[in-house]
C-alpha cells in the first residue's frame, strides 16, 4: 500500500491511539494477566435473553426496525430512557433524548456542534483517553483541572473558570471515573455546581458507569442540580452490551434537536435493530436485577483488587478505592516511571496495566501513575496479577 502520511489531516496524524493499541497488543500475549482492559465482563451479556428479545421484536416491529428511521432514534427506547431519569427525580421528556451509536459518539457530535479549532474545553486530569482522542479531532485547547480523592478539585476548577471565561465545554465523568475510579462526593457535587454557576460553559456529563455501583447510593445525574446546562451522555454498554453500540444524549430540547441534526449528518440514526432489541429486553426482563447481578460480582472483584493492593504494594504506593465502575488508579512515589514499569512487568512477570500518561493532555501528567481494571478478571487471577505487578514494582522502585 502506498504511503499516505503526507495526505493525512493534521488532526489525525498523531492522537495517541497507536500507543494504546501497542499496550493492548502486549496485554493479549499468551500467559499475560491483563489488568489493562476496560471491557465489561462478557459473562453478563444476556445472550439467551437477547436471542428471545430479537425474535420477539422482529415479529412485532420487523419492517419498522429494518427500515431507515428518524435521526433521534427508536422512540420506545427514548421513552424508557426519559422514564429512567424521572425515577431519579429529573424531568426528561423523550424529545430531549437522542440515541447514539454508543455514548462516545455523543461526545463526538458534541465536538462537531460546539467546537472550533482553538476553543477551550475544561477537562478532568486524568481523563478517559477515548474522550481525549475524540475531542482532539476538533482541535480544542484542553484546560485540565486535577482530580482529587473525592472528585474534581473544585477550587482549581473555580480558578480555571475565572481565568478562562470563554471556555465552551466542561467535560466530566463524575461517577466512577475512567481512569481513576473516583465518584464525586456530595460535597464536590455541590461545590462543582457553585463553581460553574456563573460561567457560560455547557457541562458534558459523560456517565456510562452511573449504574455500576458497589457502595452507597447511585449518584444522581448533575442534570438534577444544573438542569439544561448539562449535556448528558449515557450508555447501555456497561449494563447490557457494548457491541450493540447503543448510547444516548440527553439535553435541552433545542440542543437535542442539534444532536438529531448532527446524528443525521454522521450516520442517519442509531441502529433501530439494536435499539429495539434492547428495548424488548428491558420489557421482558428485570433490568435492575440484571444490573444488581453485575454489581455483586464487580464488588467481589473490586474487593479482591483492593485486598491485593494492600497485601503486595509498598506502603508509599497510593491507590483509589472505587465505589463503582471498573478501575483502580495507582500512584507510585515521585521518580517512578509507569511506562518503564509496564514494559518490565509485561516482559518478566507477564502482567499488564495501562500507564498513566495517555490519560493526560499536557505531556507530563501520569508519569508515576497507572490504571488497573478488575472487571473481567477472576478474583484469584487479580490476586496473582497484582502480586506479579508488585514484584516488578518493587524492583523498579528500588532502582528509581
Ligand X SMILES: Cc1ncc(COP(=O)(O)O)c(C=O)c1O
Q: Is 180 in the site for ligand X (CB under 6 A)?
A: no
Residue span binding ligand X (CB under 6 A) among the ranges 17-25, 82-90, 234-242, 269-277: 234-242
Q: Which of 125, 87, 63 has the alpha carbon at shortest distance from 360?
A: 125
Q: Residue 227 burial (CB < 10 Å; 0-12/13-18/19+)?
A: exposed
299 is written with which cell numbers?
464488588
Judged by beta carbon, residue 120 or residue 206, the one nearer ligand X is: 206
206 interacts with ligand X by CB under 6 A: yes
375 binds ligand X (CB under 6 A): no
Which one among 38, 181, 219, 322 touches ligand X, defined by CB under 6 A? 38
In angstroms, what is the minimal distance from the CB of 349 to ligand X? 26
Minimum CB distance to ligand X, residue 46 (Å) = 17
**DSSP string of 31-71, one letter each residue:** T-EE----PPPGGG--HHHHHHHHHHHHHHHHHHHHS---T
Q: Which is nearer to ligand X, 208 or 366 (CB)?
A: 208
Q: What does the DSSP 8-state code read for residue 305? A: H
Q: In whole angstroms, how close is the CB of 238 to ligand X at the nearest point?
A: 8
- Spell out the alpha helix ranges (H) of the chain: 10-13, 17-27, 47-66, 75-87, 103-114, 129-136, 154-163, 186-196, 223-226, 253-267, 272-284, 287-312, 338-344, 379-399
Quote the CA–CA distance of 291 and 287 in Å, as a whole number: 6
Please say which residue, 179 or 396, places its beta carbon nearer to ligand X: 179
Does 173 bind ligand X (CB under 6 A)? Our answer is yes
Is 128 near ligand X (CB under 6 A)? yes
Based on the shown chain and the rule CB under 6 A, indicate whether residue 108 belongs to the binding site for ligand X. no
Rounded CA separation 335/178 (Å)? 24
Compute the distance between CA of residue 103 and CA of residue 262 in angstroms, rounded to an integer: 14
373 binds ligand X (CB under 6 A): no
CA distance 189 to 204: 14
Binding flag, residue 178, ligand X (CB under 6 A) = yes
Q: Which is nearer to ligand X, 53 or 237 (CB)?
A: 237
Please say whether the dihedral angle defined by the alpha carbons of residues 309, 314, 319 and 321, taken in this order, is positive or negative. positive
Provide the minimum distance between the beta carbon of 10 and ligand X in the complex, in angstroms, as a whole number: 25
Name the closest residue to ligand X (Cβ). 102
Among residues 27, 104, 157, 188, the one that binds ligand X under rule CB under 6 A? 104
For ligand X, the closer CB: 90 or 212: 212
Could you tell me which stretch among 83-91, 101-109, 283-291, 384-392 binds ligand X (CB under 6 A)? 101-109
Distance from chain centroid for Cα 325: 9
Give yes or no for residue 94 binding ligand X (CB under 6 A). Answer: no
Q: Which residues bind ligand X (CB under 6 A)?
A: 38, 102-104, 128, 130-131, 173, 178, 206, 208, 235, 237, 242, 247
Amino acid at each position: 500500500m502506498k504511503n499516505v502520511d503526507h495526505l493525512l489531516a493534521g488532526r489525525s496524524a498523531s492522537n495517541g491511539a497507536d500507543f494504546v493499541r501497542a499496550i493492548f497488543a502486549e496485554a493479549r500475549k499468551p500467559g499475560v494477566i491483563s489488568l489493562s482492559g476496560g471491557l465489561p465482563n462478557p459473562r453478563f451479556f444476556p445472550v439467551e435473553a437477547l436471542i428471545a428479545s430479537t425474535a420477539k421484536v422482529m415479529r412485532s416491529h420487523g419492517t419498522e426496525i429494518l427500515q431507515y428511521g428518524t435521526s433521534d432514534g427508536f422512540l420506545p427506547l427514548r421513552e424508557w430512557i426519559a422514564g429512567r431519569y424521572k425515577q431519579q427525580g429529573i424531568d426528561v421528556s423523550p424529545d430531549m433524548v437522542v440515541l447514539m451509536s454508543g455514548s462516545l459518539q455523543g461526545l463526538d457530535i458534541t465536538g462537531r456542534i460546539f467546537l472550533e479549532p482553538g476553543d477551550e474545553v475544561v477537562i478532568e486530569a486524568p481523563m478517559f483517553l477515548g474522550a481525549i482522542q475524540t475531542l482532539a479531532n476538533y482541535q480544542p485547547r484542553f484546560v485540565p483541572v486535577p482530580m482529587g480523592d473525592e472528585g474534581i478539585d473544585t477550587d482549581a476548577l473555580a480558578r480555571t473558570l475565572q481565568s478562562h471565561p470563554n471556555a465552551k465545554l466542561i467535560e466530566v465523568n463524575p461517577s466512577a471515573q475512567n481512569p481513576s475510579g473516583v465518584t464525586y462526593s456530595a460535597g464536590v457535587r455541590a461545590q462543582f455546581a457553585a463553581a460553574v454557576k456563573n460561567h457560560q460553559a455547557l457541562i458534558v456529563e459523560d456517565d456510562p458507569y452511573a449504574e455500576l455501583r458497589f457502595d452507597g447510593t447511585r449518584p444522581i445525574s448533575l442534570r438534577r442540580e444544573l438542569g439544561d446546562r448539562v449535556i448528558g451522555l449515557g450508555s447501555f454498554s456497561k449494563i447490557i452490551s457494548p457491541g450493540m453500540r447503543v448510547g444516548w444524549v440527553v439535553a435541552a430540547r433545542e440542543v437535542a434537536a442539534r444532536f438529531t441534526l448532527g446524528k443525521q449528518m454522521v450516520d442517519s440514526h442509531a441502529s433501530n435493530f439494536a435499539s429495539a432489541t434492547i428495548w424488548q429486553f428491558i420489557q421482558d426482563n428485570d433490568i435492575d436485577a440484571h444490573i444488581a447481578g453485575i454489581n455483586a460480582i464487580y464488588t467481589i472483584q473490586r474487593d479482591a483488587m483492593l485486598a491485593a493492593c494492600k497485601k503486595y504494594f509498598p506502603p508509599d504506593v497510593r491507590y483509589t478505592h472505587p465505589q463503582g465502575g471498573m478501575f483502580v488508579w495507582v500512584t507510585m512515589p515521585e521518580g517512578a516511571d509507569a511506562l518503564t514499569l509496564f514494559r518490565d512487568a509485561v516482559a518478566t512477570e507477564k502482567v499488564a496495566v495501562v500507564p498513566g500518561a495517555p490519560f493526560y493532555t499536557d505531556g507530563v501528567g501520569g508519569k508515576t501513575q497507572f490504571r488497573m481494571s478488575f472487571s473481567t478478571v477472576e478474583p484469584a487471577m487479580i490476586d496473582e496479577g497484582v502480586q506479579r505487578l508488585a514484584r516488578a514494582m518493587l524492583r523498579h522502585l528500588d532502582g528509581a
